[in-house]
C-alpha cells in the first residue's frame, strides 16, 4: 500500500512543492489564470474505499484535457469501437495538444488520437443526445457515477472564458468539417466541448475516477461495472501512450503509470489493480503538465515501485 497515512503523503507534497516556482499557470483561457501557482494537493483512492490525501484537497479545479479520457470512455460505450476508431486514430503524435500540423499531412484527415484537441473534438461530437444540454447532462451524469458524487457539475465562468477564446479549436473543427469527419454546427460543438473541459471537481473525486480505471471499470466500492473492462483497457492504453501529450514517453520512462493531465494543473493517475490518484498543481511546465504534480508522482513511483514496466 502506498502511503498509509496522510502525514506520510504530506511529506512528499512538501518535497515537491518548490517545483511550483519553476512553472507557470495557464492563462490562454483567462479564467484559468486566476489560480494560485503555489497550490499542490493529492489524493489516493484505494479499492477498499479508503482515501489518503494531502494539501488543500477541498479545492476544486476544472478537468480540462482530463475530460478527454472520460468522454472517450463514454462514446466508446455509446457508439462502439468500430464507429469511434473509424473517425479517430490510435497513434501518438509527439506534437503539442492543440497542434493542427499533423491533420494537414494525413490522408484522410482523421485526427491521430483522441487525446489531442483535434481527436477530442471528434469524440465530443460523437456524444449522443438531441441537444447540447442533453449531451452535457448525459456526460455529467456519467461523471457523477464515476465520482459517486451527484454534486459534480461544470464551472460556468471557465466554460464561458474558454468559449470566448477557443479560436484555435474552432479552426480544428472547421478543418475536420471540410473533410467530412465532423458534421455539426461549429459554435454548438465548441459550446459542448468548453463545458466538458470545465467539469469541476476536487482531488478526491479525481482519484476515485482513477480508481475506477485501475479496477478495470468497476466501481471500487460496489463492484458494479461502470465502464466495460475492454473500454477501460483502451482508455488506460491511451493514457500511457498520449496522456501527457508530447511528454508521454518521458513520463512512461520516469513514472510508468497510465495518467492524464489537463492545463488546469490536474493529473489523474491509475495504477492498474492497485489505486487511483488525483493531483492538483496549477503551475505548469512548458508542455502544459503540472510541474510539481509530475515531480510528486516521480518521487512516489520511485519509492513505491509504481512503474508497470
Which candidate, 272, 303, 275, 300, places its Cα nearest to that of 50?
275
Residue among 29 and 215 whose Cβ is closer to ligand DON: 29
CB of 266: closest distance to ligand DON in angstroms? 8
**Is residue 205 part of an annotated ligand binding site?**
no
Q: Spell out the residues 6+ positions from residue 273 whose beta carbon is closer than 8 angstroms to its own.
A: 214, 215
Check: CB of residue 239 under 8 Å from CB of residue 259. Answer: yes
Site residues for ligand DON, 69-108, by CB under 6 A, read 97-98
The values of phi and psi at residue 61, to 5°, are -145, 160
Q: How far is CA 181 from CA 81, 229, 234, 268, in A?
A: 16, 28, 22, 29
**Is residue 117 part of an annotated ligand binding site?**
yes
Which candidate, 293, 228, 305, 296, places its Cα nearest to that of 66?
293
Among 20, 64, 113, 270, binds ligand DON (CB under 6 A): 64
Q: List residues bridging with 278 in a β-sheet.
A: 43, 268
Check: CB of residue 255 under 8 Å from CB of residue 298. Answer: yes
What dihedral do alpha carbons 15, 17, 18, 22 form, nearest 10°? 140
CB of 196: closest distance to ligand DON in angstroms? 8
Tell me, by CB under 6 A, how many residues bind ligand DON: 13
Residue among 278 and 288 whose Cβ is closer to ligand DON: 288
Q: Spell out the residues 6+ positions from residue 153 whose beta carbon is closer than 8 angstroms to its own.
A: 140, 199, 200
Q: How far apart are CA 297 and CA 16, in angstroms?
A: 9
**Is residue 304 part of an annotated ligand binding site?**
no
CB of 223: closest distance to ligand DON in angstroms? 32
Residue 162 interacting with ligand DON (CB under 6 A)? yes
Grid cell in block for residue 142: 456519467
- Contact string (CB under 6 A) for ligand DON, positions 219-258, x = contact: --------------------------x-------------
Residue 65 interacting with ligand DON (CB under 6 A)? yes
Residue 263 interacting with ligand DON (CB under 6 A)? yes
CB of 263: closest distance to ligand DON in angstroms? 4
Among 69, 172, 182, 197, binds ligand DON (CB under 6 A): 197
- The residues assigned a catalytic role are 65, 68, 193, 245, 263
Residue among 16 and 290 whose Cβ is closer to ligand DON: 290
**Is residue 162 part of an annotated ligand binding site?**
yes
Grid cell in block for residue 39: 497550490
Q: How far is CA 143 from CA 44, 243, 291, in A?
A: 18, 19, 26
Among 127, 288, 290, 295, binds ligand DON (CB under 6 A): 288
Instruction: Give Dmax over CA atoms of the chain in angstroms.
Output: 54
Residue among 169 and 232 whose Cβ is closer to ligand DON: 169
The sign one gets for the Cα dihedral 40, 294, 124, 145 is negative
Residue 261 interacting with ligand DON (CB under 6 A)? yes
- Contact string (CB under 6 A) for ligand DON, positions 107-146, x = contact: ----------x-----------------------------
**Is residue 113 part of an annotated ligand binding site?**
no
Residue among 71 and 261 whose Cβ is closer to ligand DON: 261
Tell me which residues touch ligand DON (CB under 6 A). 64-65, 97-98, 117, 162, 169, 197, 245, 261-263, 288
Annotated binding site for substrate: 65, 117, 162, 169, 193, 245, 263
Amino acid at each position: 500500500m502506498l502511503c498509509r497515512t496522510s502525514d506520510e503523503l504530506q511529506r512528499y507534497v512538501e518535497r515537491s512543492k518548490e517545483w511550483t516556482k519553476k512553472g507557470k499557470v495557464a492563462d490562454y483561457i483567462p479564467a484559468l489564470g486566476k489560480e494560485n501557482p503555489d497550490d499542490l494537493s493529492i489524493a489516493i483512492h484505494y479499492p477498499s474505499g479508503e482515501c489518503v490525501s494531502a494539501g488543500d484537497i477541498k479545492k476544486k479545479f476544472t478537468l480540462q484535457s482530463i475530460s478527454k479520457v472520460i468522454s472517450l470512455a463514454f462514446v466508446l460505450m455509446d457508439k462502439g469501437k468500430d464507429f469511434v476508431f473509424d473517425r479517430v486514430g490510435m497513434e501518438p503524435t509527439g506534437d503539442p495538444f492543440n497542434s493542427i500540423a499533423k491533420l494537414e499531412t494525413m490522408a484522410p484527415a482523421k485526427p491521430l488520437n483522441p487525446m489531442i484537441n483535434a481527436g477530442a473534438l471528434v469524440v465530443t461530437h460523437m456524444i449522443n443526445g438531441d441537444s447540447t444540454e442533453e449531451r452535457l447532462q448525459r456526460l455529467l451524469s456519467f461523471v457523477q457515477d464515476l465520482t459517486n458524487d451527484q454534486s459534480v457539475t461544470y464551472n460556468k465562468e471557465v466554460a464561458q472564458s474558454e468559449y470566448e477564446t477557443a479560436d484555435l479549436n474552432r479552426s480544428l473543427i472547421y478543418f475536420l468539417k471540410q473533410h467530412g469527419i465532423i458534421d455539426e454546427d461549429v459554435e454548438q460543438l465548441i459550446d459542448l466541448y468548453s463545458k466538458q473541459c470545465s467539469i469541476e471537481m476536487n482531488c478526491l473525486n479525481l482519484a476515485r475516477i482513477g480508481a475506477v480505471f485501475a479496477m478495470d471499470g468497476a466501481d471500487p466500492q460496489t463492484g458494479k461495472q461502470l465502464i466495460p473492462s475492454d473500454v477501460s483497457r483502451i482508455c488506460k492504453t491511451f493514457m500511457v501512450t498520449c496522456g501527457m501529450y508530447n511528454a508521454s514517453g518521458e513520463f512512461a520512462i520516469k513514472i510508468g503509470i497510465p495518467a492524464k493531465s489537463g492545463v488546469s494543473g490536474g493529473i489523474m493517475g491509475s495504477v492498474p489493480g492497485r489505486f487511483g490518484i488525483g493531483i492538483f498543481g496549477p503551475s505548469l511546465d512548458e508542455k502544459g503538465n503540472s510541474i510539481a504534480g509530475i515531480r510528486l508522482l516521480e518521487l512516489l513511483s520511485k519509492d513505491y515501485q509504481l512503474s508497470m514496466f
